[in-house]
Amino acid sequence: RAKKKGVSQLVYFNTRMVDELRDRSMMLSELKESLDNQMFTLMYQPQVDLNTHQVVGVEALCRWRNKQNEQVSPDVFIPLAEQSGLILSLGEWVLHKALDDLHRIRCIKPFVRMAVNVSTLQFNDPDFEKVVSNALALAGLSGNCLDIEITESVGVLGSVEVEEKLARLKKLGVMISIDDFGTGFSSLSYLDKLSADQLKIDKSFVSCMNPINSGSNIADMIVALGRKFHLNVIAEGIETEEQFNALKAQGCHQGQGYWFSKPLVIDDLVNWLEQK
């Protein structure tokens, strides 16, 4: 009996693996087709100064619908695009599209910056700076319109290789943010060498904020780190007024989250900005 059960489990496991592999390769070929057929879209989430309530930036967030017209989370399709190398062309499309849309945004709010997520593979591509400067040139925009969000996984932050690359990007005027700060596994020893401009507090550190632990949480410590190392700090995932007030009281500069606005399609963002 035990043997029989063991066998059936084995079979179940195998078919599941085969299913997963088939799903992945189907999704991958769909992803490739989607890029050719311009099936990706971008949504934009406002980034707000916590003191003045002014919109200082918007973050471009990629969206994809598969053939069944189901919305697939970027947490699923971005890693797949990364593993397959498709992220290089997808990432380039995102840059072009986001900077193109920034013109419409700047008609209403002239100093708003566009924040674009850049994956590790993109950042480590030897052509990355060229891709960025070409996208800026094509849009007729200067580097200070753009904020590039990288994560700790791009390599050893503070290392010569990464810092040289960041320095070249900064020469273009581009702003650099460390996304999901505190969720990676790198040490903090790089902070004094880091030529980034901004730390983004991951939403997991914001969602656990409550009146009881306020003042002794991780978000609070990241704000203090930012102050110490002269880095701007922005919190993501602000969903409540309590979180907003606590972050503001701690001296966090900026924030984004559902409490201000969900990510919006460009037309809705333009309306939202006009109403502000």
Q: Which residues bind ligand C2E (CB under 6 A)?
A: 45, 60-62, 73-75, 78, 91, 94, 117-119, 149, 179-180, 203, 236-239, 256-258, 263
Shortest separation between residue 272's beta carbon and Mg ion, angstroms: 19
Shortest separation between residue 167's beta carbon and ligand C2E, angstroms: 22
Question: Could you tell me where the beta strands, DSSP code E, fall in the chain?
Answer: 40-49, 55-65, 71-72, 113-117, 146-150, 175-181, 198-201, 232-235, 254-255
Partner from Mg ion, ligand C2E, none contacting 257, C-beta within 5 to 8 A by type:
ligand C2E
Q: Give the per-residue contact string, 29-58, with Mg ion (x = CB under 5 A; - = no).
A: ------------------------------
Q: Give the per-residue contact string, 228-247, with Mg ion (x = CB under 5 A; - = no).
A: --------x-----------
Partner from Mg ion, ligand C2E, none contacting 241, C-beta within 5 to 8 A by type:
none
Which residue, 69 or 71, has its beta carbon nearer to Mg ion? Answer: 71
Shortest separation between residue 71's beta carbon and Mg ion, angstroms: 18
Under rule CB under 5 A, residue 179 binds Mg ion: yes
For residue 13, give the amino acid letter: F
Shortest separation between residue 260's beta carbon and ligand C2E, angstroms: 8
Shortest separation between residue 65's beta carbon and ligand C2E, angstroms: 14
Sign of CA dihedral 227, 44, 237, 188: negative
Which residue, 113 or 203, has its beta carbon nearer to ligand C2E? Answer: 203
Q: What are phi and psi of 233, to 5 degrees?
A: -125, 130
Residues 139-163: b if buried by 16+ CB within 10 A, e if exposed: bebebebbbbbbbbebbebbeeebb
Residues 6+ away with beta carbon under 8 Å from 148: 115, 116, 118, 132, 169, 174, 175, 176, 177
Which residue, 57 or 263, has its beta carbon nearer to ligand C2E? Answer: 263
Q: Judging by beta carbons within 10 Å of its beta carbon (0-12, 13-18, 19+), is residue 95 exposed, middle or buried? A: buried
